Amino acid sequence: MFIIDSEKIILSELKDHDIYLALHDLVLSFDLAGEIGEAQGLYNKLTLLLKGAGSDFDQELLGKYKKLLVLLQFISLPLQTDEVISKLFKENLLIAIYHGIDVKGKIELYIMFFSTNDFAERLSRIILKSLSENSERIGGKSLEIKGELKPLDPLVKNWLKDYINFSVNYRIRDDLSLSIYINQSKNIKQLSKKEVEVIIAIIKIYNFLHFPSAEKSEVKATGHVPTIVSSQQKVVEIDKSGDIFKPAVKANKARGANANKAMDDLTELRELAAGYPPGSLERKAVEEEIGKVRSKKKEKEK
């Protein structure tokens, strides 16, 4: 194991795979300790050095270093420009999640810490827009999404569209709506356990930015914290009364009975649609629901 002085490192040393491993461990230590400034400093140093990497530099190793740079940017998120933040969540989110970075936790922390200025609102807006445009792939099969004329590629933005369409009748999207989606979505069943965990991580980010108080409300109302763990496509949650892991399917059906009532009143749906920005995935999904309700009413009137 290396004890490395990142300030004194030179390009030739970066060609050593053991040096890469030591830097990788250093990056993860920055993540755990929340060392934003140190992460940005190492990013600047490595970026400068890697600009001089020639054709003799192992390209596979160079690719690993580029992923390290992405991780460093996620760790030092508040120091990044709007353009960099947008690119991170549009093109490189899976790198962070697969490397174990708690992206949602960082977003929560930064929004809480910077709540007195416009950074929190700006960060939320940028991330949500970037997620809706993210073309990273999760899974290998096309998605069959209600309301779409043809199957869609399994991209992050389309997985979010699938989740939004699935949970359109929920006033608040939280761990309950997410666990029901993970259990019941036909598209989810095509994924591996790890891929399902990635989907969960992404949707948790989306839910938090749209409904930041949902988790606190759930804990306050029920006295337990739902924990979503995929295992053979089953969702598991913690029962705080005895800390017992148990399948959440039956519980979700009972608790979801009230949460999953179809909002068949057009006025209520219009009010819901008005709460989302024009052109957003959520508004489009609600507007589609409005169209279906109208069609059903017309059929009943005949």
Q: What tens digit of pLDDT does each residue of 255-278 get?
A: 333 333 444 455 666 666 665 556
Task: Give the total residue count for the chain.
Answer: 302
Mean pLDDT, rounded, for 216-227: 39
pTM (global) more than 0.75: no
Mean pLDDT, rounded, for 270-292: 63
**Residue 37, pLDDT score:** 93
**Residue 241, pLDDT score:** 34
Cβ proximity of 190 and 139 under 8 Å: yes
**Residue 103, pLDDT score:** 95
Across 6-10, 163-167, 223-227, least confident range: 223-227
Is 11 a residue whose pLDDT tops 70? yes
Q: Which pLDDT tens digit goes with each residue over 117-133?
A: 788 888 999 999 999 99
Sorted by where each begins, the domain ranges of the chain are 1-102
**Residue 263, pLDDT score:** 42
Burial class (CB in 10 A: 0-12, 13-18, 19+), 258: exposed
Q: Which residue has the tokens 């839910």?
A: 207
Q: Which two tokens stand for residue 194?
A: 């790890």
Across 58-62, 138-142, 164-168, 250-254, least confident range: 250-254
**Residue 281, pLDDT score:** 62
Antiparallel, parallel or unpaired: β 234-239 and 229-231: antiparallel
Is 179 a residue whose pLDDT tops 60? yes
| Cα separation, 161 vs 145, whole angstroms | 8
Is 68 a residue whose pLDDT tops 70? yes
Mean pLDDT, rounded, for 174-181: 83
Burial class (CB in 10 A: 0-12, 13-18, 19+), 108: middle
The pLDDT-based confidence of 218 (bands split at 50, 70, 90) is very low
Q: Which pLDDT tens digit goes with each residue over 236-257?
A: 332 333 332 223 333 333 333 3
| Cα separation, 75 vs 32, whole angstroms | 9
**Residue 163, pLDDT score:** 92
The pLDDT-based confidence of 168 (bands split at 50, 70, 90) is confident
Q: Which residue has the tokens 């819901």?
A: 272
Task: Evaluate the CA torsion angle 85, 88, 90, 96 in order and state its sign.
Answer: negative
Across 15-29, 52-66, 106-120, 275-289, least confident range: 275-289
**Residue 152, pLDDT score:** 95
**Residue 119, pLDDT score:** 83
The pLDDT-based confidence of 286 (bands split at 50, 70, 90) is low
Is 213 a residue whose pLDDT tops 80? no
